[in-house]
Amino acid sequence: MFFRYTKIAVACTLTLTALLSGCSKDKANEQKSDTFTATTPATGEASPILERNEKQRLITTFQEQFKKSNINIKITDIKKTEVPNIYWVNLEGAPSIYATADGKYVIQGDILGLGDGKIHNIGEDLQAVENKKLFAALDNKDLIVYPAQGKTQHVVYVFTDASCPYCHKLHESLPEISAKGIEVRYIAWPRGEQFYPNMQSIWCSKDRKAAFAAVAKGENITAEECKNPVKEQYMLGVKIGVNGTPAIYSQDGHYLGGYLTADDLAKRLSK
C-alpha cells in the first residue's frame, strides 16, 4: 500500500444569517409562541427548528475559532457524535475532523468507543453516510466500470492508480470478483503529481479499460489530453480520507480495505 498525505487550504467566506420573526396580539400569545418554538414536540423528538439553530450556532463558533488560528477552510456540516460534547465536522475539500463543543479543540484521526464486547470507530457510520451521497453523485461515464457477471449483488468503488502494484493485483482478480456478482467502479486517484499524466491519458483514451490494462502491465500508452475528471476524483478521495491505493468502498459508503482477494471482498460485503 502506498500512502500520500495532502495538506489542503481553501480560502472561503461563510456568512450565516438567522431570521426570527413573531407576530402576536398580546404578550400572552407572544409568550405562548416563544414557548412552542423553544421546546421539543410531544413526540419527544428534537425540534427541527432547534436543531437547525443549534447547528448554525456551532458552525459560526467553529468558523470563528478557525479564523483566529489562521485556518481558511469552510465548514459544510456538523453532526453530533455519541461522545458528549464532541462533534463530527465536515470540511470543504478536506477530511472530516472532530471538534469540542466550544470549538477550541479539534481531533484528527479516529475516536474509538469501548464496551459491548468490541471496539468501534464512532465516526465510521457518520463518514459512510457522507460517502454514500458523494458516490451517488458520480456519473458512471466518468469512471471505469467492470460489470458483475450475471445478477449484480454488490457494487464497490475503488480509488486506484494504474502504477500501483497492489492495484495491479486487484485488477488481475477482476474476473473472480465479477464472478461473485460484484460490480467494480474505478475512481482515478494518482498517488503523486508524477502519476497524473498516465492517469489523465487513461481517462482520455477511447478505451479506458484497455489503456488501464496496458499501463498496469508496464506498457507505454499514447499521451492524451482532454477535459477529464481526474483532479476532481483525486480531491474526492482526499475529502473522504483516502491516503493510499487501492482503497475499496461499498456502495453505502463504508471503507472495506485496501487490496483484498475476491473471497475476502465478498465476505466483507456479505456483512
For the CA atoms of 71, 59, 5, 142, what is the dihedral angle to 10 degrees?
Answer: -120
Catalytic residue status for 226 = no
Phi and psi at 151, nearest 5°, equal -75, 135
Phi and psi at 267, nearest 5°, equal -65, -45
Say which of 164, 207, 208, 264 is annotated catalytic: 164
Catalytic residue status for 161 = yes
Say which of 57, 116, 161, 185 is annotated catalytic: 161
- Residues 6 or more apart whose CB falls under 8 angstroms from that of 250 comprise 154, 155, 156, 157, 256, 269
Catalytic residue status for 167 = yes
Alpha-carbon gap, residue 216 to 118, rounded angstroms: 39
Catalytic residue status for 204 = no
Say which of 167, 185, 207, 252 is annotated catalytic: 167
Say which of 191, 208, 252, 263 is annotated catalytic: 191
Catalytic residue IDs: 161, 164, 167, 191
